[in-house]
Copies of this chain bind each other. A is one copy, B any other.
């Protein structure tokens, strides 16, 4: 039911360099928001770009009809940086279709997914067949941890009142297999900056006289895990809600993901916290990851310096029972105790989001499962996911409604990496899913 305009609309959306973490592209982010609001209006909705303390939120809504259920659909129009830019096969902001997939930064995360819902509504309105009151909330700061969204939802609580929230910003367990995600990990970002000498020093002349900040950063990062990838921070695992036997059993019945993970990632061997299977490690166990490491000479060849500073960008993925603030305190204390004399450690706390866990058998969940089954022709996979959508918890808490996660990104999406893509078939399925879901929820 895709029409000839739909792909062109997506391509326009993908061309905006709406990289929310890059201060130099805030103009592109703003332009993308305006375009999206205009596209909502063209689709038959009312729409506004609303400011926040950061990048704006785009709101769209249908005429409110009394007695109808209200569905809020959330998504984001911002994207991850394209870096490393030279690893892309085609330019990240010049979408192309190859072998049935749309390649561009944001193709699956999240422009392709959120737009498929909007276009589903466009088609429904064109057919005079929208069975619910609808609100679109599309933000511009998801990739930097949605720092202003909770405040926004609290402020416009009345305007955003609804019966259920639906989000397509997660993955499918396998290509063509509709998936309901009922749990997400939380996140905590933290940057370590170690400073030593005032300037880069000659490592021959001064080597032996001063502590090397790059060595210290490496040492602090290395302290985070034991040899079997367990996080060594005392209290890190405290209070974690263990996986129920039923859930572990259900996951055990899913196809073994190892072959697929090896193919997707290209690693020679899977690795992770000792004592847990890979699905549990990805979905229900916390992690500590280095996202970026730097300091000293970065060029070709060698340069014999003791760098003046070095950094590590960390994120921790959190699971039910872990509180981001408390984990941040524990990690900070752990690291500060381990800083050797002669350098200074600055710890910059970044964004944080709580983990989320829902019940896949509520009426709303069952409605979503029926819609997924209708679109994809088989009962959906019921999974958790390792990523973080901090706002899911915010919606649940502030609006007091269930949140349905109906991901359309397939395992090959390469979200956040180079050559991110989204199958054309999933883009079309998303429009159908939107219509089936709204009917089921109605």
Q: Can you list 29 A-B contacts with CB-CB less than 8 angstroms, sorted by A residue number? A: A21-B303, A22-B299, A84-B200, A145-B302, A199-B418, A201-B265, A204-B388, A208-B273, A208-B287, A208-B386, A210-B267, A212-B289, A214-B221, A214-B290, A215-B221, A215-B289, A217-B218, A217-B293, A218-B222, A218-B290, A219-B221, A219-B222, A291-B297, A291-B305, A291-B307, A292-B296, A292-B307, A302-B315, A303-B416
What number of A residues sit within 8 Å (CB to CB) of B? 100
On whether the beta carbons of A290 and B296 are closer than 8 Å, the reply is: yes
CA–CA, A22 to B261, complex, Å? 39
Is A358 part of the contact surface with B, judged by Cβ < 8 Å?
no
Please give the distance in Å from A301's CB to the nearest CB on chain B: 4
Would you call B206 and A386 a contact (CB within 8 A)? yes
Does chain B have a CB within 8 A of A436?
no
**Does A281 sit within 8 A of B, measured CB to CB?**
yes
Q: In the complex where A266-B199, A387-B205 touch, is A296 in contact with B291 (Cβ < 8 A)?
A: yes
Q: Which listed segment binds B: A10-18, A35-43, A149-157, A339-347? A: A339-347
Q: With a CB–CB cut-off of 8 A, which chain B residues contact A285?
A: 208
Query: What are the residues of chain B within 8 A of A212 when measuring CB–CB?
Result: 289-290
Interface of A, secondary structure class, is loop
| Residue interface bits A371-391, CB-to-B below 8 A is 1, else 0 | 000000000000001111000
CA distance A209 to B385 in the complex (A): 12
Contacts of A205 in B (CB 8 A): 171, 282, 385-387, 415
Q: Is A80 an interface residue (CB 8 A)?
A: yes
CB of A313 within 8 A of chain B?
yes
Q: How many copies of this chain? A: 2
Q: A323 in the interface, Cβ–Cβ < 8 Å?
A: no
Question: Is A51 part of the binding interface, using a Cβ–Cβ cutoff of 8 Å?
Answer: no
Question: Most B CB atoms within 10 A — which of A189, A301, A417?
Answer: A301
Q: List which A382-413 residues lie within 8 A (CB) of chain B.
A: 385-388
List B contacts of A198 (CB < 8 A): 265-267
Asked if A441 is at the interface (CB within 8 A of a chain B CB), the reply is no
Residues of B within 8 A of A189 (CB): 302, 304
A54 to chain B, nearest CB (A): 12
CB distance from A153 to the nearest CB of B (A): 22
Set of chain B residues within 8 Å of A268, measured between Cβ atoms: 341-344
- Scan A102-115; emit 1 where CB is below 8 A from any B CB, else 0: 00000000000000
Residue A30 at the B interface, CB < 8 A?
no
Complex Cα–Cα for A304 and B313 (A): 9
Known A-B contacts A200-B418, A297-B292; A270 and B342 likewise in contact (beta carbons under 8 Å): yes
**In the complex the two chains form, what is the Cα distance from A35 to B3 in whole Å?**
69
Known contacts A23-B300, A211-B271, A215-B225, then 15 further A-B pairs from the complex at CB < 8 Å, ordered by chain A residue: A80-B303, A83-B303, A198-B266, A198-B267, A200-B417, A201-B265, A207-B282, A208-B278, A208-B281, A209-B271, A209-B278, A211-B272, A292-B296, A292-B307, A294-B294
